[in-house]
Structure 1
């Protein structure tokens, strides 16, 4: 069993979760991104599995927005209030353990007052009215306490914060006499306080006036203290639920991942930390599975912080409970092999002592996982505001950790990429102002070359192209193209065996995984605004991505076209056509590929070949058909109907 446990441990590190180093990197990047995304009036917190360092297949991104101008207190001990803040007091007399009602004490916001309803002569904040304030085109769906997009990819929870630990959870502080969690961790968690999310106890007579007490931050900090074996055990339980239990139509959606988290937190408190070792992974997993069956059978699952709150109360009963218990017991008889029913695991020849544990391969696996990570989706929440840039610079100067410096360096590059595009948009009045803007924009562009191999250089080339410095633009394009070699990879694709051998991993490994992005990643050229988009494309809106090699040959075509170098621009057009035909560094996403055909159609139209241009634009429309909102700003597509 020990050998099988170790084999399973290495398999999960390689194929599902990543190594301990990878998980730490994801957590650090999320922390940095949260810090940079936070604003004067709200704090970003990446939560859910991804916030814990687990990026499971099919999971969404959960982000909590903590509103800083609202305070919740269990007892109002002072009559002095900040006139710019809203204050609520906590009422739990009429609620189930784990829930509370928020009584309005003082608020300068009429909108906040309008979100309250009268109950027993006082105004209480309605969770339903509160959530409606945050519904919009991007997030039009209510999903529990969150607002979500129509595809369910991102859940956003706007929540309130109490700096004080709630009385109902006071027993947790002194409950555990084991080695986990240690006193230091407890102190950090209690010092943070708790959050309140807008959802009430289902079936309660005043459900819409109740708020669930959330320990998301504390739970995340507890999971940060897990050994890697504990985390892998947690991952196995989530795989079992999502890929095995929920595939049974009779059991689907009866359990949620929060129950599993609660169970593993209780077990972690009950056993010695020394139990969680790689050679004991399977027994630990089976122990958690056995506890799950017990909880369902006896309909009891105490909340980890507030045990009086039975999470299974009135949740799973009747025929549902019978079906669920039968399913769990059948699976349990398979032992640890029940996880082989998951498609994530079953398609791989399991689990021998020959599982690859070579550090170079683990490094590449971590790099692959990082390149496909949702962390990069989070980058879109960054803004080009000055305080973001100042925060990064301060961290880079003051931080002692090289890894943290590299992560901040990466995000600074992304912030600078946004900053330079917004600066270039600003109108100028005098030549002196224009000169200052030119130099400032150029300095940001030079700082934006550190998040991947080439996109920063192509953005710099775009700057010179817009300034009509075509020769300088051409030089930068050739330099960037020289970096587009076969040992690089585009985001979202797998590293091939050839690439594993070509990349000098020994050198890169010493740089760290995040630092390696600068050397191995070919990212799309992302136009956050229309400032650097070549005017020939006739794109007036922002948010477009063009594959790097495609953009290089297209921009080279434009430069030679304006310099009337006929042979050179024909060569660039041929290279552009070959790049698209060979699918060279174009990734798997449809939108960048559609923009590739749009660039090709534009080049052909400029040359007067309208028939070929129409064919290219038709391909653009086919690829963008699921995204009609992207078609309208591409004005050259009108050629399809005009010819």
Structure 2
């Protein structure tokens, strides 16, 4: 798995590169928006073009407060909303306007409606729809709170969110008895706070005005504090989801798998997770996934009252088929990983060519991450010596790969196609 790009060094390089990119873009936004990379890119688990880039754009002029929190210390320029979760599904809330800022953000103002009692209520539907159909990019159909976009070969899922100050929720999470994470990590997660994203509960009478509580930055920290075995368990379960179960309507997602791994890590001594125990934990992870599919219940790691399987469109036949498949994998034991195409190809490949190609693939990706951050800094591609050097080295790698491919009988000649294939 290290050869395939899941080793600790390349993971850390990806994590640091996307953190730096977020810092550069946030600085350019001059206090209007904070950029946060989330999902597999922030976790360092996918290469440059392997999957969508998940981005959180957080509006800085607005803050949402949990009920009971004093608002007197909030700067006068900020718009304040008060969360109302008493009649909302767990992990969701409605946002009532407490005080408009000076001035109030245009996208927030345009999303205000009346709650029927003369109070301003922030509509999640009206808010997210303002970010659709923008010029200069290819946009796709809204997916939950996100607005998917295409920039050339890059796919990006963007969620426009608001800060949410909820000390009681985070205090309850921090107070749980656990084996993991450490007290220092728990304090860091609490200090990072929360957000609300514009999506309600499917089928709810108030879906169009409900907002979902999320803890993206804290979850990034948690995943990045898993040990190597726990990370590889997470990767294998994601492969099972994608390549074996192959959900078509997000009945099971990477977020589902992430929560299973976080619960397993919290409830078991950290010393039990080592490279010789990986297949044991894969069996445990498959069993937890089977239970979640069978019962349609999986508590959210940060707010256990929220059931992540509640709204999944899982019919009886599909559920029965998936349970049978998972049962077979659990019976097969370690051989079950041969069902995963990426792992199977690595096992049957000759070690020398695999290591040779893997080294160049990882170097090419590292060069691309450096290029991304130089671009975000706004340097001139024609005069920047670092960009010129990395582009020369990237060309050397691509020419070397193409030569070996030709020697082995391939007719591929397009360096651009080779480059993109290596980044996937």
TM-score range, shorter chain: 0.7 to 0.9
Measure the CA separation in 2 of the matches of 1:485 and 1:306.
Answer: 45
Aligned equivalent of 2:57, options 58, 65, 70: 65
Measure the CA separation in 1 of the matches of 2:107 and 2:311.
Answer: 35
CA RMSD, 1 decimal: 3.3
Aligned equivalent of 1:343, options 331, 341, 344: 341
Secondary structure of 1:149's counterpart equals strand
Aligned equivalent of 1:118, options 114, 120, 123: 114
Instruction: Choose between structure 1 and 2: higher helix proportion.
Output: 1
Deviations 1:54-76 (A, max 9, x none): 10674211011111111111145
CA contact (8 A) 2:83 2:94 kept: yes
CA spacing shift, 1:363–1:495, aligned 2, 3 Å = farther
Shift of 1:18: 3.3
State whether structure 2 residue 64 is matched by structure 1 residue 77: no
Shift of 1:29: 0.9
Measure the CA separation in 1 of the matches of 2:394 and 2:169.
Answer: 60
Shift of 1:449: 0.7
Number of the residue aligned with 1:95: 88
Aligned equivalent of 1:416, options 372, 379, 389: 379
State whether structure 2 residue 138 is matched by structure 1 residue 309: no
Secondary structure of 1:588's counterpart equals helix
Deviations 1:64-116 (A, max 9, x none): 11111111111452446544322111111111111111111222325422311
| Unaligned residue ranges in structure 2 (runs of 5+) | 406-411
Number of the residue aligned with 1:212: 212
Shift of 1:171: 2.3
Shift of 1:196: 0.8
Aligned equivalent of 2:25, options 27, 37, 42: 37
Number of the residue aligned with 1:539: none
CA spacing shift, 1:258–1:177, aligned 2, 3 Å = closer
Shift of 1:237: 0.7
Instruction: Choose between structure 1 and 2: higher strand proportion.
Output: 2
Shift of 1:350: 4.1
Relative contact order (C-alpha < 8 Å, sep 6+): which is higher?
2
CA spacing shift, 1:227–1:63, aligned 2, 3 Å = same
**1:389-468 map, 5 Å:** 415-417=378-380, 445=383, 448-453=384-389
State whether structure 2 residue 7 is matched by structure 1 residue 23: no
Measure the CA separation in 2 of the matches of 1:18 and 1:317.
Answer: 34
The alignment's TM-score, normalised by the length of structure 2, stands at 0.83
Secondary structure of 2:147's counterpart equals strand
**1:506-525 map, 5 Å:** none
Shift of 1:253: 3.4
**1:372-391 map, 5 Å:** 382=376
Measure the CA separation in 2 of the matches of 1:485 and 1:84.
Answer: 48
Aligned equivalent of 2:163, options 151, 155, 161: 161
Measure the CA separation in 2 of the matches of 1:271 and 1:330.
Answer: 25
CA contact (8 A) 1:165 1:190 kept: no
Number of the residue aligned with 1:458: none
Shift of 1:348: 3.5
CA contact (8 A) 1:194 1:215 kept: yes
CA contact (8 A) 2:89 2:306 kept: yes
CA contact (8 A) 2:398 2:419 kept: no
CA contact (8 A) 2:107 2:127 kept: no
The alignment's TM-score, normalised by the length of structure 1, stands at 0.56
Measure the CA separation in 1 of the matches of 2:193 and 2:245.
Answer: 35
How many residue pairs get aligned? The number is 399
Aligned equivalent of 1:287, options 270, 279, 284: 284
Number of the residue aligned with 1:175: 176
Secondary structure of 1:202's counterpart equals coil
CA spacing shift, 1:103–1:342, aligned 2, 3 Å = same
